[in-house]
């Protein structure tokens, strides 16, 4: 994450408009004080009460009613007294103090991933590191305010020198290069110590100085690099517009960019809709085809349900038979156990049975012979009975004829014969 840290020298009197690197101390302070005197369109007065003030050394309560007035008037009075002690008057253009803004860019994802409380903790750590450096450089920490009511949360710092006379040129401010290179590294180290969870989400990136950026370049390349940087700085700082006009232009460009993005998105959606329509038509055709298959599948399913019902009934019958079968199996096991227990006795009986069978076989043979003789006698008797029956029939016929025609008298052969009367 890159954090911009612009700095400005503060004077006791108003500064000419062309001197954009210096500002009237009270005017600048009032823009950051409890009662914001700012025409910035991003300002949200409802959030001003949530701004966080961090006091430094002295001037906390001189009776002027606010952090900014107490600090600015305290610095101004001490500066006048300091100069009187030297037998001089306070110069109107004296650089009494300096203000620094620590402002991470609003569109940096790492910074936006932090909650508002995490962002405030980050800026508090930045102020701690800055105060330590200010003391090393002979500056006196004044006060700072973390503003959450003006767009992206950022911090304004107000500090002064013990001699109340900073360098008269922009380059002479003692902490400019330190802000770009060392400050981000020290913030990262302090964040890792105090807030490791926040540090894991967001880290500062040191800006390269001229020496690091031009390392290995030829003199010609260095000149081109300086010219390019001057051009970039001119575009950033010398836009010739007021703060409101510049922000309005940025807002307009952002709106145009968003509109173009919406147009591209709309075109992409139109193309996507056309593709979806073609896909829908294909799906409708496939749906019609699948509907026919579905009807056929329903018919097959119904037939399968019938077969399933038949199988269920068969299974039910089978389940009903399982009980008796199990009982029979149990009985069979009992019979087997009984048979095994009687096996020894059966062996003894088997010998007797074999002997009895031999006798029975002999008796059977004799019976068969008797049966054969009896069957022969039976056939002979049946034959004789048959012959006798025939004779009886003939005798009856002869008697009938005798009654009609004459007497029946045996002939010489003993055969009955009808003698006519």
Phi/psi for 9 (5° steps) reads -80, 145
- Whether 231 is covered by a domain: the verdict is no
Cα–Cα separations (whole angstroms), residue 131 to 39, 65, 140, 175: 30, 24, 8, 11
Angstrom distance (rounded) from CA 164 to CA 95: 7
Task: Report the candidate in 61, 34, 19, 12 with the shortest Cα–Cα distance to residue 160.
Answer: 12
Angstrom distance (rounded) from CA 206 to CA 184: 5
Task: Please answer whether residues 74 and 143 qualify as being in contact, where contact means their C-beta atoms are separated by less than 8 angstroms.
Answer: no
Angstrom distance (rounded) from CA 108 to CA 91: 42
Task: Tell me the CATH number at 186.
Answer: 3.30.930.30
Domain boundary among 194, 219, 244: 219
Task: Report the candidate in 182, 202, 36 with the shortest Cα–Cα distance to residue 115.
Answer: 202
- Beta-carbon contacts of 104 under 8 Å, excluding residues fewer than 6 positions away, are 1, 2, 3, 4, 111, 152, 154
How many CB atoms are closer than 10 A to CB 270?
A: 10
- Beta-carbon contacts of 222 under 8 Å, excluding residues fewer than 6 positions away, are 214
- Residue 216 three-state SS: coil
- Whether 253 is covered by a domain: the verdict is no
| Residue in this structure with the two tokens 């954090």, named with its chain if needed | 3
- pTM for the predicted model, two decimal places: 0.52
- Whether 207 is covered by a domain: the verdict is yes
Q: How far is CA 108 from the centre of its chain?
A: 26
- Whether 415 is covered by a domain: the verdict is yes
- Whether 211 is covered by a domain: the verdict is yes
Domain boundary among 190, 219, 248: 219
- Beta-carbon contacts of 280 under 8 Å, excluding residues fewer than 6 positions away, are none
Q: pLDDT, tens digit, for every residue of 147-174?
A: 988 888 899 988 887 666 654 444 445 5
Show the tokens assigned to 306: 């019938």
Phi/psi for 91 (5° steps) reads -65, 145
Task: Report the candidate in 187, 122, 192 with the shortest Cα–Cα distance to residue 152.
Answer: 122
Instruction: List the chain residues with pLDDT less than 50.
Output: 14-21, 167-172, 238
Any idea what the Cα angle at residue 241 is, between residues 237 and 247, rounded to 5°? 85
Same domain, yes or no, for 215 and 349? no
Show the tokens assigned to 141: 């920490």
| Residue in this structure with the two tokens 């016929």, named with its chain if needed | 397
Show the tokens assigned to 175: 């902490």
For the chain, give the number of residues: 421
Angstrom distance (rounded) from CA 189 to CA 113: 20
Task: Report the candidate in 4, 124, 3, 122 with the shortest Cα–Cα distance to residue 54.
Answer: 124
- Whether 390 is covered by a domain: the verdict is yes
Show the tokens assigned to 267: 């075109």
User: What residues make up the domain containing 352?
Assistant: 345-420
Run of H or E residues at 156: strand 154-161
Core vs surface per residue 367-377: b (16+ CB within 10 A) or e: eeeeeeeeeee
Number of domains in the chain: 2
Same domain, yes or no, for 197 and 62? yes
Instruction: Please tell me the predicted confidence (pLDDT) of residue 245.
Output: 65
Instruction: Please tell me the predicted confidence (pLDDT) of residue 159.
Output: 85
Instruction: Please tell me the predicted confidence (pLDDT) of residue 172.
Output: 45
| Sign of the CA dihedral with 30 first, then 36, 40, and 43 last | positive
Any idea what the Cα angle at residue 139 is, between residues 133 and 145, rounded to 5°? 75
- Whether 309 is covered by a domain: the verdict is no
- How many helices (H) and strands (E) are present in the chain, helices listed first? 10, 9
| Sign of the CA dihedral with 47 first, then 60, 179, and 224 last | positive
List, as one string, the DSSP characters of 47-71. GGGG-EEEE-SS-S-SSSSSHHHHH
- Whether 257 is covered by a domain: the verdict is no
Task: Report the candidate in 115, 119, 94 with the shortest Cα–Cα distance to residue 15.
Answer: 94
Angstrom distance (rounded) from CA 399 to CA 81: 193
Same domain, yes or no, for 18 and 155? yes
Domain boundary among 219, 246, 280: 219
What ranges make up the beta strands (E) of 206-352? none
- Residue 87 three-state SS: coil
């Amino acid at each position: 994450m890159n954090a911009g840290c612009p700095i400005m020298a503060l004077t006791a009197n108003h500064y000419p408009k062309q001197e954009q690197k210096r500002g009237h101390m009270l005017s600048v302070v009032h823009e950051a004080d409890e009662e914001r005197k700012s025409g910035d369109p991003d300002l949200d007065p409802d959030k001003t009460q949530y701004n966080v003030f961090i006091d430094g050394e002295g001037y906390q309560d001189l009776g002027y009613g606010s952090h900014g007035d107490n600090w600015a008037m305290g610095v101004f009075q001490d500066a006048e007294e300091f100069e009187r002690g030297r037998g001089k008057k306070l110069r109107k253009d004296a650089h009494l103090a300096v203000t620094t803004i620590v402002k991470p860019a609003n569109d940096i994802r790492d910074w936006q991933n932090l909650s508002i409380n995490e962002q405030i903790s980050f800026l508090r750590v930045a102020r701690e590191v800055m105060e330590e450096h200010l003391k090393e450089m002979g500056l006196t920490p004044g006060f700072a305010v973390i503003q959450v009511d003006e767009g992206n949360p950022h911090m304004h710092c107000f500090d002064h020198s013990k001699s109340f006379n900073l360098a008269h040129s922009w380059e002479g401010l003692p902490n400019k290069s330190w802000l770009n290179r060392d400050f981000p590294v020290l913030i990262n180290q302090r964040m890792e110590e105090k807030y490791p969870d926040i540090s894991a989400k967001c880290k500062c990136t040191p800006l390269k100085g001229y020496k690091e950026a031009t390392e290995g370049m030829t003199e010609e390349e260095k000149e081109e690099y300086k010219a390019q940087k001057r051009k970039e700085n001119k575009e950033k700082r010398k836009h010739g517009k007021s703060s409101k006009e510049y922000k309005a232009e940025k807002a307009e460009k952002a709106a145009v960019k968003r509109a173009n993005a919406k147009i591209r998105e709309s075109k992409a959606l139109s193309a996507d809709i056309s593709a979806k329509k073609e896909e829908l038509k294909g799906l409708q055709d496939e749906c019609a085809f699948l509907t026919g298959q579905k009807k056929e599948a329903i018919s097959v399913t119904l037939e399968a349900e019938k077969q399933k019902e038949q199988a269920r009934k068969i299974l039910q019958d089978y389940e009903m038979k399982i009980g008796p079968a199990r009982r029979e199996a149990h009985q069979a096991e009992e019979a087997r156990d009984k048979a095994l227990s009687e096996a020894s006795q059966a062996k003894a009986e088997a010998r007797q049975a074999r002997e009895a069978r031999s006798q029975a076989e002999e008796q059977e043979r004799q019976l068969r012979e008797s049966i054969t003789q009896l069957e022969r006698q039976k056939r002979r008797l049946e034959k004789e009975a048959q012959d006798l029956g025939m004779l009886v029939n003939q005798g009856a016929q002869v008697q009938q004829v005798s009654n009609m025609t004459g007497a029946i008298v045996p002939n010489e052969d003993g055969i009955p014969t009808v003698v006519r009367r």
